[in-house]
Amino acid sequence: MPGTLYIVPTPIGNLEDMTLRAIRVLKEVDLVLCEDTSVTQRLFKEYEITTKTSVFFAQTGLKNIDRVMKMLEEGKRIALVSDAGTPTISDPGVLLVDKIRNELPDVKVIALPGASALTTALSASGISSAQFVFLGFLPHKKGRETLFKEIAESDRAVVFYESVHRIEKTMQSMVDSLQSTENSKPRNIVIARELTKMHEEVIRGTAQEVKEYFQNNPDHVRGEFVVIVEGR
Ligand code: SAM
């Protein structure tokens, strides 16, 4: 019997955001592959999960991929988690899933639904997600300004992840790029910060308004951010 890889979402802040199924799967599998053992152990402690963990993601790429492939071939049940949210969504894991689907087609890959900053931010934003483009993390340098021009031209809502180090620069770039297309309809942008956590907030307004909000509240330039730009 070939094995199974379960892709298991974990909370993006609030530890209660685990599904019953996610807890059961993490308890039942032979091994849990994680990014950082100490992060995963905090979750395991909360839910009394004692399954063995193995660090799977090294800075330089996937570690131990051949060993994991062999275990799956031998019929083991393995779960993949990341530090927060859904594995493979701007997180490692896609190479493993791709390799399994290419090389071990009899191994089942089962993705559990659950927490993700992407869907949580979109559903809180009030911006239509009937159609949207997700850009993950924007490049730090090359191609960044071109992307802002493309975002400004987009008829669809655009969503991306941003770090605290670049969020102020990003707001300025959005003020610059969006104003040139703001002839009739002003575009809403949303910055969703610290979702599901104590200091959660969803700021919505024009790029200029949102930028001013953070300028006036510099202590809110903290934590994790999702940016959503309304379609044209
Ligand atoms: N796989 C994860 C998911 O499904 O949400 C995303 C992982 S990615 C490495 C981390 C980024 O997601 C952060 O830099 C931030 O942009 C966003 N993020 C994660 N947790 C968040 C939260 N609680 N509030 C806002 N954004 C969050």
The CATH number for 117-229, chosen from 3.30.950.10, 3.30.420.10, 3.40.1000.10, 3.50.50.60, is 3.30.950.10
Provide the residue-wise pLDDT of the chain in tens; the chain has 232 residues.
899 999 999 999 999 999 999 999 999 999 999 999 999 999 999 999 999 999 987 655 566 888 999 999 999 999 999 999 999 999 989 999 999 999 999 999 999 999 999 999 999 999 999 999 999 999 998 999 999 999 999 999 999 999 999 999 999 999 999 975 545 578 999 999 999 999 999 999 999 999 999 999 999 999 999 999 999 9
| Ranges in the chain annotated CATH 3.40.1010.10 | 4-111
Q: What is the mean pLDDT of the chain?
A: 94
Going from the Cα of 52 to the center of ligand 1, the distance in angstroms, rounded, reads 25
By most ligand atoms within 8 Å of CB, the mutation choice from 7, 80, 90 for ligand 1 is 90
Q: Would you say the CB of residue 29 lies under 6 angstroms from ligand 1?
A: no
Q: Which atom of ligand 1 is nearest to the CA of 118?
A: 5
Task: Classify 190 as helix, strand or coil.
Answer: strand
| Ranges in the chain annotated CATH 3.30.950.10 | 117-229
pLDDT in tens, 102-134: 999 999 999 999 999 999 999 999 999 999 999
Q: Would you say the CB of residue 197 lies under 6 angstroms from ligand 1?
A: yes
Cα angle vertex 132, ends 130, 137, to 5°? 150
Look at the domain 4-111 and name its fold.
Answer: Cobalt-precorrin-4 Transmethylase; domain 1 (3.40.1010)
Q: Whose CA is nearest to atom 20 of ligand 1?
A: 12
Count how many Cα atoms sit within 13 Å of the Cα of residue 167 in the half-sphere of its side chain: 24
